[in-house]
């Protein structure tokens, strides 16, 4: 009798649960249908009665973008027109002329021709102004419009009309498009006799194989004891490539990252599936505020597994997984479906991705919201957003003068002018901005009657207003006037005060005109503070080992 009562009770509970589920499910479907009907009728009325003509496609695209924006920054609608750009982001391949273009002073220009690709092979240079593409003037176009015109079927020519600013000549050139594959590893080499260096720019298809080939070549040729893996400003990409790169340096079977989301059958744990290449080489991973996603998986796994030292600045804090879903009319939805969890169990996603510092870095997280985890050897690490490096390297900001010279293209334009009159320069590691070059640059800027303001000057002006309003100004008017004179921007004074950083910017831009991206990277290796710190740590085995002591706390703040 008791068994029957229990069985009847169980059936009642199950029936009630199924009824509740059915009600909830039906209610949710009704809400979806109801709101879609409201949207349709609203759109119909708007399209019919709005005072001006409206573009239905633009209206719908705007509404979709705003809807997805309310969820997170990474859930995006990809229209049919944008599918090729999306494919390029994941494969690093497209058909075009092989050049980075930008808009400067109202003109579309060649900002950087890629070495070995059509633009460079057909004689186009950084600074060249694109006047027309296939007879279409670019004056009213943006960079996206021009980029779309330059892309097209491989092995087909595209006619480009160019004006060269250094001599004001105008000419046309038929550039034959090729399949462009951007190197995920733009440079690798030796920093010294013991230390290898690999720069990884993105996580596109097969980039792990590129890293493997680069490392094996360096190991077979130079037998390094240490490796610097540079992931600074690497925005991420394909998760599986980060797993394969970690697999090069950790034993087979090691857990590297896991994903967890609402749809449980999509939850995955990713482990090293192959035998490693090297489990003993000392490793330093360089990160900064723009190192995101797959970059953070590698930096975080290196830290959690105590496999390498992380050096630089706190990373971006993007730990959300996106999956691409097909929509009608060849459109796609890139939707966030899960979060990344690295081996210690912590999530690298910033707790609140909508609140960041002005530079995009993770904002300070209250201690009450931060959780503690431990690495393989017992070091204490924390979540809250991004990867906090084992070794922090202060990143000094540029002076206002340097920023103005970059953003107003004085440094870019001088490099264009200098390269046009100088047939060759020493190798990237040897080229220096001499007194003569710097003096020439100073004259180049002054010739344009260059003027600029500073934030310090603006802040001081506000202080003066407040002092006068509160009647304190008269008490220290002489001191105020003296300080105002010192703080007032003075190009002749400031160009010497900030010569060091301006010279570095000039050096990088000039070197890139002769040796392209690889040369620009090589030029910085000898003076880069992060690389110098990495070499200091890696070249002293005892110092390196000291970072992995159990109980060490890697503070989040």
Dihedral sign of CA atoms 465, 466, 470, 476 in order: negative
Please give the structure tokens belonging to residue 467.
């002092």
Helices (H), 50-138: 56-69, 83-91, 118-121
- The yes-or-no answer on residue 103 being catalytic is no
Give the Cα separation of 110 and 132 in Å (integer).
13
Tokens of 60: 């719908």
Report the distance separating Cα 126 and Cα 103, nearest Å.
12
- Catalytic-residue membership of 493: no
Rounded Cα distance, 223 and 220, in Å: 6
Closest CA to 112 of 103, 102, 104: 102
Residues whose CB is less than 8 angstroms from the CB of residue 321 and which lie 6 or more positions away in sequence, other chains included: 239, 259, 261, 336, 337, 338, 339, 340
At 184 the three-state DSSP class reads: coil
The single-letter DSSP state of residue 364 is P
- 3-state DSSP call for residue 216? helix
Q: Is residue 364 among the annotated active site residues? A: no
Among 147, 242, 291, 293, which one carries the catalytic annotation?
293
Residue 547's alpha-carbon distances to 39, 158, 472, in angstroms, are: 57, 55, 53
In degrees and rounded to multiples of 5, residue 373 shows phi and psi of: -135, 175
Convert 302-352 into a string of H (helix), E (strand) and C (coil): HHHCCCCEEEECCCCCCCEEEEEEECHHHCEEEEEEEEEECCCCCECCCCC
Residue pair 369/347 in contact by the 8 Å Cβ criterion: no
Which residue in the list 161, 244, 318, 533 is annotated as catalytic?
318
Catalytic, out of 183, 210, 230, 304 = 304
41 torsion bin: left (phi>0), alpha (psi -120 to 50), beta (else): alpha
Q: Using an 8 Å Cβ cutoff, are 172 and 161 in contact?
A: yes
Report the alpha-carbon distance of residue 23 to residue 140 in Å, rounded.
56
Q: What dihedral do alpha carbons 234, 237, 239, 241 form, nearest 10°?
A: -70
The catalytic site residues sit at 293, 304, 318
């Amino acid at each position: 009798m008791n068994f029957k009562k229990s069985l009847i009770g169980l059936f009642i509970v199950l029936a009630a649960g199924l009824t509740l589920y059915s009600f909830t499910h039906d209610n949710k479907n009704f809400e979806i249908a109801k709101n879609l009907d409201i949207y349709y009728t609203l759109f119909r009325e708007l399209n019919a009665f709005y005072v001006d003509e409206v573009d239905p496609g633009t209206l719908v695209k705007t509404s979709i973008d705003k809807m997805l924006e309310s969820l997170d920054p990474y859930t995006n609608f990809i229209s049919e027109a944008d599918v090729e750009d999306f494919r390029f982001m994941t494969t690093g391949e497209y058909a075009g002329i092989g050049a980075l273009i930008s808009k400067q002073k109202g003109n579309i220009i060649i900002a950087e021709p890629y070495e070995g690709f059509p633009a460079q092979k057909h004689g186009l240079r950084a600074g060249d102004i694109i006047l027309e593409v296939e007879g279409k003037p670019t004056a009213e176009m943006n960079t996206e419009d021009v980029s779309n015109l330059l892309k097209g079927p491989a092995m087909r020519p595209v006619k480009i009309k160019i004006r060269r600013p250094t001599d004001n000549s105008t000419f046309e050139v038929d550039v034959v498009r090729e399949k462009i594959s951007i190197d995920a590893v733009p440079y690798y080499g030796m920093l010294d006799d013991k230390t290898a260096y690999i720069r990884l720019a993105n996580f596109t298809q097969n980039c792990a194989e590129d890293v493997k080939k680069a490392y094996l070549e360096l190991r077979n040729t130079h037998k390094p004891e240490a490796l610097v893996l540079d992931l600074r400003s690497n925005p991420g990409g394909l998760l599986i490539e980060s797993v394969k790169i970690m697999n090069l340096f950790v034993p087979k079977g090691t857990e590297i990252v896991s994903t967890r989301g609402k749809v449980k059958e999509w939850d995955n744990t990713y482990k090293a599936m192959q035998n490693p290449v090297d489990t003993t080489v000392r490793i330093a991973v360089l990160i900064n505020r723009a190192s995101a996603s797959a970059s953070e998986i590698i930096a975080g796994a290196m830290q959690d597994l105590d496999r390498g030292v992380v050096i630089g600045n706190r990373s971006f804090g993007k730990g959300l997984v996106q999956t691409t879903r097909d929509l009608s009319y060849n459109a796609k939805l890139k939707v966030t479906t899960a979060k990344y969890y690295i081996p210690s169990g912590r999530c690298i996603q910033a707790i609140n991705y909508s609140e960041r510092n002005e530079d995009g870095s993770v904002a300070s997280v209250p201690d009450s919201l931060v959780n503690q985890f431990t690495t393989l050897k017992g070091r204490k690490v924390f979540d809250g957003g991004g990867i906090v490096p084992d070794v922090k390297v202060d990143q000094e900001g540029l002076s206002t003068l340097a920023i103005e010279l970059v953003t107003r293209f004085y440094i870019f334009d001088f490099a264009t002018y200098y390269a046009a009159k100088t047939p060759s320069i020493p190798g990237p590691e040897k080229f220096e901005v001499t007194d003569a070059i710097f003096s020439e640059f100073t004259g180049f800027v002054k010739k344009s009657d260059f003027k600029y303001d500073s934030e310090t000057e603006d802040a001081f002006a506000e202080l003066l207003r407040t002092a006068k309003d509160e009647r304190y100004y008269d008490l220290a008017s002489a001191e105020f006037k003296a300080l105002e004179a010192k703080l007032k921007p003075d190009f002749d004074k400031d160009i010497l005060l900030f010569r060091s950083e301006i010279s570095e910017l000039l050096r990088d831009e000039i070197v890139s005109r002769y040796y392209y991206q690889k040369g620009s990277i090589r030029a910085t290796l000898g003076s880069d503070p992060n690389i110098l710190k990495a070499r200091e740590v890696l070249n002293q085995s005892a110092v390196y080992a000291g970072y992995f002591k159990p109980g060490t706390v890697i503070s989040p703040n």
